[in-house]
Amino acid sequence: MELLKEIAPKAKRIAILTDPFTVDQLKMAESTARTFGLRLQPIQFKTPPYDYAAALEKVAKERTGAALVTVGPIFFRDRARLVETATQQRIPTMFPLPEFADVGGLIAYGANLDATEVLRARRELEDGEDDRGDDSALDSAPRGSDHRIARCARRPLTTPPAAARRRA
């Protein structure tokens, strides 16, 4: 939430995108938002395919200050479309994983997950079953922190102003 306040300092309301896979994250986000004086506006998607355009158009019309995307397999699968829609609507949006920033997301902050596990969860969701068969396509996915280090080395490192003030 602190990073969202940095990128959208005038925001009082934050849209949070959730679905059946991420409802547990909504409760935790609500608690955190209160500590920063923010109100959350839940945008709850029920069944895929999610209509990001309609949802984010509503967020823009209601002048919600920013948006936060929760960590879920469908949001991860749709990350390019989700980032594109948020950008078109000019909504400052924080995404949950670095892969969202890789496709153009404004800012991503979250756990350093093994991409293989996220892709496996996505495949299981799409297949409707837990298939532990041939994972050769998944094995080519980057693993661990090594690819994160390489990707970060290509980006300039900046410190958010609030963090810099705390260090001083």
Report helix angle 79-88 to 52-61, nearest 10.
30
Whether 17 and 70 have beta carbons less than 8 Å apart is answered as yes
Residue range 62-104, pLDDT digits in tens: 999 999 999 999 999 999 999 999 999 999 999 999 999 999 9
* C-alpha–C-alpha distance, residues 27 and 11, integer Å: 20
Residue with tokens 């594109």: 84
Where do the domains of the chain lie?
2-162
Question: pLDDT tens digit string along 22-70?
Answer: 999 998 999 899 998 999 999 999 999 999 999 999 999 999 999 999 9
**What is the second-level CATH architecture of the domain 2-162?**
3-Layer(aba) Sandwich (3.40)
What's the CA gap between 86 and 93, in Å, rounded? 7
**Model pTM greater than 0.95?**
no
- DSSP calls for 80-113: HHHHHHHHHTT--EEESSHHHHHTT-SEE-----
